[in-house]
Amino acid sequence: MENLTESRAPTDPYALFADWFAAAPAADPHDPAAIVLTTIDPDGWPEARAVLLRGFDARGFVFYTNYRSAKARALAANPRAALCWLCKPSERQVRVVGSVERVTAAESDAYFAQRHRLSQLGAWASRQSEVIADRGELEARVQAVEQRFDGLEVQRPEHWGGFRVHPRSIEFWQGRPGRLHDRLRYHADADGWRIERLAP
């Protein structure tokens, strides 16, 4: 494993993340796109859950969800979030902190069209994060949606779509022996990205 040094780090953090993310499936084939998303609920309590990273570019990191879910309600009240991506076999972690906004409807439509049909039906059937009586209630709702879209293409519901996290900082952590790890943080400023080394 290469050491993470300032001389080897690209000026663009997305280029470094792209390299790490592309290498992850070979090291850890079990959902390398999983990231932990942390939000703050309307009462000020932190909430963390795993979601799937479905895209990233110079604009930020994208995930999709039900806009009526607990995480979406938290982001509506406080559009800031943290992400944490971990590839344990490679001893690599990336932490992102930034502001959040919805992706465009066209982006959400394009991603929704690629989803498995049952996942598309589930986006209509599940009242995500709401209390339900039992599993039977969910299954009945799925059955009703299946009948509604029988023989038809499943369109994206308006209450489902993507969010983009625009980073103000991106920290890369590379494990090293003796817990003397490498930590480089990219911090956004008016001139682009400033690289800082953090003590392990």
Catalytic residues: 179
Residue 173 tokens, joined: 């952590």
- The answer to whether residues 101 and 163 touch, using CB atoms and an 8 Å cutoff, is yes
Taking the C-alpha atoms of residue 80 and residue 62, their distance in angstroms, rounded to an integer, is 14
What contacts 79, CB < 8 A, 6 or more positions away?
A: 99, 100, 101
Asked whether the beta carbons of 117 and 104 are under 8 A apart, the reply is: no
* Spatial CA neighbour of 13 closest among 166, 175, 198, 177: 166
Distance CA 50, CA 150 (A): 32
| Tokens 């110079």 sit on residue | 58
What one-letter code names the amino acid at 59?
Answer: R
Q: What is the DSSP string of 107-139?
A: HHHHHHHHS-HHHHHHHHH--TTS--S-HHHHH
Spatial neighbors of 130 by CB under 8 A, at least 6 apart, are: none
